[in-house]
A and B are shown apart, each in its own frame.
Chain A
Amino acid sequence: MSRQRSARSAALGLTVRRLPTTSQARGAGPLRRRLVVGALVLASLVLISLSFRADGSGPLGGVQSAGATVLRPFAVGFERVAQPFRDVYAWADSLLSAQSEADALRDEVRELRQRAIQSEFALQENVYLRELLDYIDGPRFPADFDPVAAEVIGRPTGAFTQAITIAVGAKNGVRANDPVVTADGLVGVVTRVTSGTARVQLLTDEEAAASAIDLRTGATGIVRHARGTRETLVLDRVRKQDVVRRGNEIVTAGWRAGALSSLYPKGIPIGRVTSVGQTDTDLFQQVQIDPYVDFGALDAVIVLVPQERE
């Protein structure tokens, strides 16, 4: 049937005519459109498949690493330009929540908290060493690590992944699984490394976990994200007979079992217990933690690089 066809509308008694369109629109246009979008979707799927299977290694990993290296100066440049605006935003945000008054006190609390943790651990270890002479298999201290300071150049881009990109990489000695901290406490772990950048999985990511211990009572568990929120963490797998009290400090456990050891060194602050609950049906206690680190305002972090890699 001809495109120029006319028809009479039965309802309105009007004649309507389909207007001619350009040959490009009716001919090559739709085909070209389908080809282009089909090719792009296919390219995306191929990239996803290769990238997912390679997981940062192989030829595609090299391409990604090269791309990241090329884009790094732009990211750093944009970061520098954006910093004043971010500062203004952070300032307004802190003004609204009255945090500006707490800044001076927070520094003091941070220092005292670190001292208290160190003292508490020293005391515990003293007692432990007297009772157990085979302490040699015990966890190691962060003294075995070298700090590498890093600027944050990329932040979580969506609701799916809680990860940041930092401006240090393999050439700075950083490797996958190196722990990342700030002066406040534990941030996460390095999951991917290029020569000049690295991706850090935050502790608030759905797939992140860290073995942790209640500093006062010695109750152990696994710190994970709290479902449905980014602001809180939970201490999972705490047995019902263990004692955990509101206000207690949670730090990394830093366990060691033969050749295996925790990714995180012992004694890094994680947060403070805000609530403890348990039900008859649950096997474990429900412990909620308020993290010391503000994961939404990370400007710089410290990567803990082991002095001796195994």
Chain B
Amino acid sequence: MMRPLALAALLLALAAPAAPAQEAYPSRPITVVVPFPPGGQADLNARPIAAALERVLKNPVGVVNRAGAAGAVGMASVAGAKPDGYTLLLALSSISIIPEADKLFDRKPAYTTDQLAPVALLSADPTVLVVPADRPWKSVKELVEDAKKRPGQVSFSSSGVYGTLHMAMEMLMHAAGVKLKHIPYNGAGPALTAILGGQVDALASGPAVVIPHVKSGKLRPLACWGDRRVASLPDVPTFKELGYEDVEFYIWAGLFAPAGTPEPVMQRLRQAVGQAVEDPEYKAAMARIETPIAYMDAPEFKRFWDKDAKMLAEAVRRVGRVEGAQ
């Protein structure tokens, strides 16, 4: 009732006679699972690519939101799905964080990253460091110097403990050798509201989120985590330019299939995504949500993901278990 596409897919699956082994892929609807609620970053990335894939494959491609436990519920459902190419996952950077956090707390892991095979990277947005416009710091240098003088006093908000926005700041703190005060919120939206109200002193978040408030003069950007500057913020340096070599972080969105998906199916999928990202309608849709396309095919994406996952795992372990609110 709530998921017409899923229901339709299920009914079709039941109605179809047992599929012959060499059947051409795809021959029935494909489901892209988004492990977050509609309207979020992952959902906004999933819908245009699903529509473009549908045009390329000439086969229905539906999006299903399976939210819960910061994405773990939906990611685990795809990790355990039949590896036939009909259940795909659109995940964000946090896919590498959840198994690490599970390890940290001796929880039974929801899934492991080797249960999922990368298909393609779709977008990668570097986070941007912003401070309220009424704060005195005009550069990263001033902020870091002030934070060194009074450790644990300068505060920042995040989307949640071990969340992507927390990890970005953790990398910066480690590289700059400073301690900032972490105030976690439950989501990127509330974290933004907090800095707009001047409740905290800093925030790392995606360009699409902060740029409207930079333009309205409420927030001041100091630096970004990418390996080159953000196109719409040409005056804002990267941390690499400022001498922080290892401070690189992206909120990325990528497409995954369950590990063990047959090679011919993977080939077809990769080729289809390659065509889909060139689709003019796809490009227009991504431009509207102000998210630059950063397409990478599976082998390249695999290397990118491995490096990113290693970096995030280190950051999670460095944070360790947070004891109490401090």
* A is bound by B: no
* Chain B residues at the A interface, C-beta cutoff of 8 Å: none
